[in-house]
Amino acid sequence: MHELQTLTGVHSRDLRALNTRGGEAFRALIQPRGHHAILLRMGMFRAVLTAERFLMFKATQAAKLFARLRLLPIAQQTLMQQQNPPVGGEPLSLHDTDDSPGSCVSATFEMRCLAAVLGVTQRRLNRRAQCFGPVVERLLQQVTSEEPEEALSELVSVQRALTELERGCESVVQCLNEVLHSDEEMLSLLLT
């Protein structure tokens, strides 16, 4: 624990914010901690993000794969950039592989990691939402035809899952709005 505090500057009591027990299971969190670290809890991610590190906790297989495929190249590019600074002092660029290849924005390591996490979270929520359409259509057809009781009970389960998804989406939006509307937090996000 002491080593973690030394690396990140985050006190152990602050790490409780990464826990998802109780009613906060759907609450997204981007919480700057001074000018040393950002606590991040969003979707499958529980992490402490510093200017040089992305430390994940309780990493799922999907989170580990994300780290290998998306965060490792960001770290490698950052390291290469630091070892061989570009002519003219240009900062690192943030390239979103899903958009046009010509669009890039100057970004630091922590901003690039945060953008990658937000992109993956958005795509995961979008995919989950798209899965519900065919299921709901099938159940509505069953309600109007042969087996309404069974279909109604399944619709209740789908409604609960949709409510959970909606709370997750609202939590991410609320989290981003809180950070974006706070000048102090926006300034704290730039750790470098």
Over residues 99-155, the pLDDT tens digits come to 433 334 346 788 888 888 888 888 888 998 899 889 888 888 888 876 677 788 888
Say whether pTM exceeds 0.85: no
Return the number of other C-beta atoms located less than 10 Å from residue 8's C-beta. Answer: 21
Burial 83-114 (b: 16+ CB within 10 A, else e): eeeeeeeeebebbeeeeeeeeeeebbbbbbbb
**Domain map (residue ranges) of the chain:** 2-181
More confident call, 74 vs 23 = 74
Cα separations (Å) of 184 from 118, 138, 159, 176?
20, 49, 38, 14
Q: What pLDDT, on the 0 to 100 scale, is given for residue 153?
A: 84
The rounded mean pLDDT for the chain is 75
Sign of the CA dihedral 5, 34, 50, 84?
Answer: negative
- Cα angle vertex 33, ends 41, 25, to 5°? 20
Q: What pLDDT, on the 0 to 100 scale, is given for residue 160?
A: 92
Q: How confident is the model at residue 18 (pLDDT cuts 50, 70, 90)?
A: confident
Q: What pLDDT, on the 0 to 100 scale, is given for residue 96?
A: 43
Surface-to-core class of residue 76, CB atoms within 10 Å of its CB (0-12 exposed, 13-18 middle, 19+ buried): exposed
Q: What is the dihedral of CA 101, 105, 111, 113, to 10 degrees?
A: 10
Cα separations (Å) of 22 from 25, 33, 39, 76, 162?
6, 23, 19, 38, 19
Rounded Cα distance, 162 and 136, in Å: 10
Over residues 141-174, the pLDDT tens digits come to 888 876 677 788 888 889 999 998 898 888 888 8
Rounded Cα distance, 68 and 87, in Å: 29
Rounded to an integer, the average pLDDT of 88-94 is 51
- DSSP character for 92? P
Q: What pLDDT, on the 0 to 100 scale, is given for residue 21?
A: 55
When computed from its CA atoms, the radius of gyration of the chain, rounded to whole angstroms, is: 20
Helix locations, 84-147, DSSP H: 109-144
Return the number of other C-beta atoms located less than 10 Å from residue 125's C-beta. Answer: 16
Over residues 40-86, the pLDDT tens digits come to 888 788 888 887 888 888 878 888 888 888 888 888 887 787 777 66
